Structure 1
């Protein structure tokens, strides 16, 4: 069988995975404790912004069939398999910037980011 370079199957890779800082894990645990039936948070990617891709966070009450589960310090982070080529190796943090608190993504695959920080390119 001939393999074409434009063919990509994310199930054929050994992923490094994602990690959570203690602050991110604590915030996810807090979110889960406040919402009945919530299991964790899903981190995905969508096409958006001037750099190409943006992060998408959703609550998870039932994992999707293709979700990978990364669990750390009792916090569950679900990632769709299709997002792994864009965010594999990412460290998820939860930080305070001025008056705001937000998730930050330290993504080794991000080669550039837009000026406002809303999107990234790989």
Structure 2
């Protein structure tokens, strides 16, 4: 029996997707209205912190070819298919914590988070 190592492309998967709370949608809309030419935000991940990965938010003036688009009430959140294995199913919220206002990510794939809440790890499936 001959075994072959296969390859896959993240775009070949059916994703559960991401959801935006109304507070997150409102904040994204406010950010895009302040800067002409900004279409929305892009959510990604990068290797970071003590738990493995961190969330990255950037403004989007031009979508990437592999971006998936999630929308709510006119707010646009772009996500690269490369990030989806780490954040699929995540709810994006915008909350007030004391004097701070921050985006929060409720990620069902996060198996552990660091003490400061800035990074997360995922378990291989």
Is this a same-fold pair by TM over 0.5?
yes
Residue deviations 1:32-80 (CA, integer Å, cap 9, x gap): 1100000000000000100000000000000011111111111000001
Q: Which runs of 4+ in 1 moved over 3 A?
A: none
1:83 aligns with 2:100: no
- State the match for 1:42 in structure 2: 42
1:4 aligns with 2:5: yes
- State the match for 1:15 in structure 2: 15
Gaps spanning 5+ residues in structure 1: where?
none
Q: What's the RMSD between the two structures over aligned residues? A: 1.4
- State the match for 1:29 in structure 2: 29
Assess, with a 3 A threshold, how the Cα gap between structure 1 residues 4 and 75 changes in structure 2: closer, same or farther.
same
Instruction: Give how far 1:8 is off.
Output: 3.5
**Number of aligned residues:** 121
Instruction: Give how far 1:9 is off.
Output: 1.9
